[in-house]
């Protein structure tokens, strides 16, 4: 059942703008990838008083579960096949450091901490860093700038909203979108009517109707102008959340619109709409986190890949793994937490486990897509925007951030050979649409072609883009190594992203499974944010930890689960709409309601 969203914290109404190499040393197992014969080995972990936990996957879900359990006295061992930190980690560019400097900082994709994240920042506040905590390394950025066909568009800064009503929010959005875009006013009004329809929809309608409707159908994208599609549809779905509007469901997209609107208006408990880290994620967040977990007794086994689970007598009795040398072993524990991505866990689930919990079988219906990073290192600083920049209408749905302006370290003195002074970190969210330079999709391009195409699209979107980013200031580049076989029919992505397709909620499991000692802690688990995010992974880790606390009858406090904010002023509206939904009536703000089949 869908979690009830939080209605607390209504008082604040301001708009805020401007606003894992070392970790390997903490791992107790050898590095992965070493050759060796496969051979059976004794169990790696022994049970201890019902509080022995084996976690498979050291991404956001696995680390979060480990943190909550270690704080409560559990013995935790984390097994990770590839790299500690998962998609959130830094990826140094090998061989680029010189003169005592570190390698240039790469990543799977830039880090973005929206103001509506609450679970993850709270975890960060419990990770020591210097005289403070890792949370102190989050700094405000801006989500105000959009580059569109050679123009710079700026999102207007709202004043006080006044009364919190659907009409007031609609009026604000109309003012903002009219000032921001040249989309026809009739289309802007229609789009706003759909957003207001969603934010006034009760939880029953959200789950029963909008979960099962594609977002493109909801906002009638195909019937509108190209500007409408560029600036009000594709820019948000593809550029910000890597979702294709014809695949993503309305409930998920609506939740994100709603959260961004409330965050931008300064409502509820939310922080600044856009926050970033003040350094590479591993340096200022993940390595301190892993060090902290290690100090609490968490053990890390890096290079250990889970290959299956043994199921007997209604419980998981062991997990098969291959170690860094390729030797096969069996892990035994009291509790098993699968914290790997959905595409990794599916092959590990036996038919007996799927029979025991049909929700595990439904994982086969979940879909993934690609959202990966391209870093362009520059010889001159280019703080193109004071935060994240959306390149609207670019075929590859590009977004970027100029990182050096936010980092506390001196970039050229710290990284590379001293001549790279900035990193333009981009997310490439559409790998299936032909580009403007070669007429190929990103999957069809070689790595150099990907970079050339990205630069061409950025230049076409920015005012005076060719002069702003000439080839002469490009120092070097880096494409996420998760992409392999690029430019060939064998192109693959080792780290794809879950997409919230229509009706996918029914195929997503809870953190607690029907197998009493088997738990899930990844972003595909049902959670309040309902999107593949760091926040969703952290929330799933908290849920798995709480499930283990419940299973063991622990008296320890449960990990708090923060929920998305809803204005308490809207509760009567939501309750009324749920009654209308149960009666088969449309939401009263929906202009298209008379034309829906069945109404």
Helix (H, G, I), strand (E, B) or coil at 549: helix
DSSP state of 335: E
Q: What is the pLDDT of residue 157?
A: 67
Structure tokens at 98: 């010189």
In this prediction, the residues of the chain whose per-residue pLDDT falls under 70 are 1-49, 157-159, 236, 238-243, 591-599
* Angstrom distance (rounded) from CA 539 to CA 526: 9
Rounded Cα gap, residues 324 and 29, in angstroms: 8
Predicted local confidence at residue 567, as pLDDT: 95
Percent helix, strand and coil across the chain, each rounded to 5? Answer: 35, 20, 45
Closest CA to 272 of 114, 124, 406: 114
What ranges in 84-184 are assigned the alpha helix state H? Answer: 119-124, 166-180
Dihedral sign for Cα 229, 233, 239, 243, please.
Answer: negative
Q: Name the β-bridge partners of 113.
A: 275
Q: What is the pLDDT of residues 462-511, one digit of tens each?
A: 999 999 999 999 999 999 999 999 999 999 999 999 999 999 999 999 99
Q: Are strands 142-148 and 387-392 parallel, antiparallel or unpaired?
A: parallel
C-alpha–C-alpha distance, residues 269 and 9, integer Å: 5
Query: Position of tokens 């098993």?
Result: 336
Please tell me the predicted confidence (pLDDT) of residue 154: 81
Q: Phi then psi for 6, rounded to 5 degrees?
A: -70, 140
* HSE (side-chain half, CA atoms, 13 Å) at 33: 3
- State the fold for domain 102-142+274-279+371-493: D-Amino Acid Oxidase; Chain A, domain 2 (3.30.9)
- What is the rounded distance in angstroms from the CA atom of residue 430 to the CA atom of residue 181? 23
What stretches of 376-514 show up as alpha helix (H) in DSSP?
Answer: 411-414, 447-461, 465-468
Q: What is the pLDDT of residue 158?
A: 63
Domain residue ranges in the chain: 1-11+35-82+303-366+510-566, 102-142+274-279+371-493, 159-264+567-595
Of 263, 252, 150, whose CA–CA distance to 500 is shortest? 252
Q: What distances in angstroms separate CA 90 from CA 283, 373, 486, 538, 596, one per listed residue? A: 8, 11, 22, 18, 48
Predicted pLDDT of residue 155 = 76
Nearest to 151 by CA among 472, 393, 435, 387: 393
Give the H or E element holding residue 109.
none
Contact 47/304 with Cβ under 8 angstroms? no
* E strand segments, 130-270: 132-133, 138-140, 142-148, 151-154
Name the 3-class secondary structure at 135.
helix
What does the angle CA 254 – CA 595 – CA 197 come to, to the nearest 5 degrees?
25
Rg, C-alpha atoms of the chain:
24
CA 358, 360, 363: angle at the middle one, nearest 5? 115
Fold type of domain 1-11+35-82+303-366+510-566: FAD/NAD(P)-binding domain (3.50.50)
CB atoms within 10 A of CB 446: 14
Backbone angles phi, psi at 562, to 5 degrees: -85, 145
- pLDDT tens column, 89-128: 999 999 999 999 999 999 998 889 999 999 999 999 999 9
């Amino acid at each position: 059942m869908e979690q009830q969203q939080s209605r607390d914290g209504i008082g604040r109404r301001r708009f805020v703008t401007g606003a894992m190499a070392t970790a390997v040393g903490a791992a107790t197992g050898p590095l992965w990838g070493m050759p060796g014969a496969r051979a059976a080995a004794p169990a790696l972990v022994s049970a201890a008083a019902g509080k022995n936990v084996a976690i498979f996957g050291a991404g956001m879900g696995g680390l979060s579960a480990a943190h909550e359990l270690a704080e409560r006295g559990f013995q935790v061992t984390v097994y990770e096949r590839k790299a500690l930190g998962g998609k959130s980690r830094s990826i140094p560019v090998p061989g680029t450091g010189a003169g005592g400097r570190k390698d240039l900082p790469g990543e799977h994709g830039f880090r973005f901490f929206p103001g509506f994240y609450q679970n993850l920042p709270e975890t960060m506040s419990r990770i020591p860093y210097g005289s403070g905590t890792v949370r102190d390394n989050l700094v405000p950025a801006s989500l105000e700038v959009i580059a569109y066909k050679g123009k710079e568009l700026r999102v207007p800064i709202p004043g006080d909203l006044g009364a919190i009503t659907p009409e007031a929010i609609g009026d604000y959005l109309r003012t903002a979108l009219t000032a921001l875009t040249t989309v026809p006013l009739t289309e802007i009004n229609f789009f706003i009517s759909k957003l207001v329809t969603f934010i006034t929809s009760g939880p029953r309608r959200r789950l029963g109707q909008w979960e099962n409707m594609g977002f493109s159908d909801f906002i009638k994208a195909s019937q509108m102008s190209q500007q409408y599609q560029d600036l009000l549809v594709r820019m948000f779905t593809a550029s910000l959340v890597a979702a294709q509007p014809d695949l993503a469901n309305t409930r998920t997209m609506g939740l994100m619109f709603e959260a961004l609107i409330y965050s931008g208006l300064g409502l509820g408990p939310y922080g600044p709409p856009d926050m970033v880290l003040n350094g590479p994620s591993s340096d200022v967040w993940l390595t301190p986190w892993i060090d902290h977990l290690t100090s609490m007794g968490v053990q890390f086994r890096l290079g250990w890949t889970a290959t299956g689970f043994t199921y007997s007598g209604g419980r998981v009795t062991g997990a098969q793994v291959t170690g860094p040398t390729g030797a096969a072993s069996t892990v035994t524990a009291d509790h098993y937490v699968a914290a790997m991505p959905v595409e990794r866990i599916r092959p590990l689930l036996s038919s007996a486990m799927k029979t025991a919990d049909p929700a595990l079988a439904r994982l086969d219906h979940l879909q993934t897509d690609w959202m990966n990073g391209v870093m362009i290192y520059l010889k001159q600083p280019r703080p193109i925007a004071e935060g994240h920049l959306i390149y609207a209408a670019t075929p590859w749905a590009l977004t970027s951030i100029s990182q050096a302006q936010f980092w506390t370290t001196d970039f050229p003195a710290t990284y590379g050979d001293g001549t790279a002074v900035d990193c333009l970190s981009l997310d490439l969210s559409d790998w299936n649409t032909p580009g403007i330079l070669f007429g190929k999709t990103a999957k069809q391009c070689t790595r150099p072609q990907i970079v050339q195409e990205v630069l061409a699209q950025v230049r076409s979107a920015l005012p005076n883009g060719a002069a702003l980013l000439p080839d002469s200031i490009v120092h070097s580049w880096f494409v996420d190594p998760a992409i392999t076989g690029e430019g060939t029919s064998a192109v693959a992505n080792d780290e794809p992203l879950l997409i919230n397709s229509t009706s996918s909620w029914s195929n997503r499991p809870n953190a607690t499974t029907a197998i009493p000692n088997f738990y899930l802690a990844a972003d595909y688990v049902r959670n309040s944010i309902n999107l593949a995010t760091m926040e969703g992974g952290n929330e799933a880790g908290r849920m798995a930890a709480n499930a283990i606390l419940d299973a063991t009858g622990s008296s320890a406090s449960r990990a708090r689960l923060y929920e998305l904010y809803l204005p308490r002023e809207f509760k009567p509206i939501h309750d009324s709409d749920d009654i209308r939904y149960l009666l088969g009536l449309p939401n009263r703000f929906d202009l298209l309601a008379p034309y829906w089949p069945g109404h």
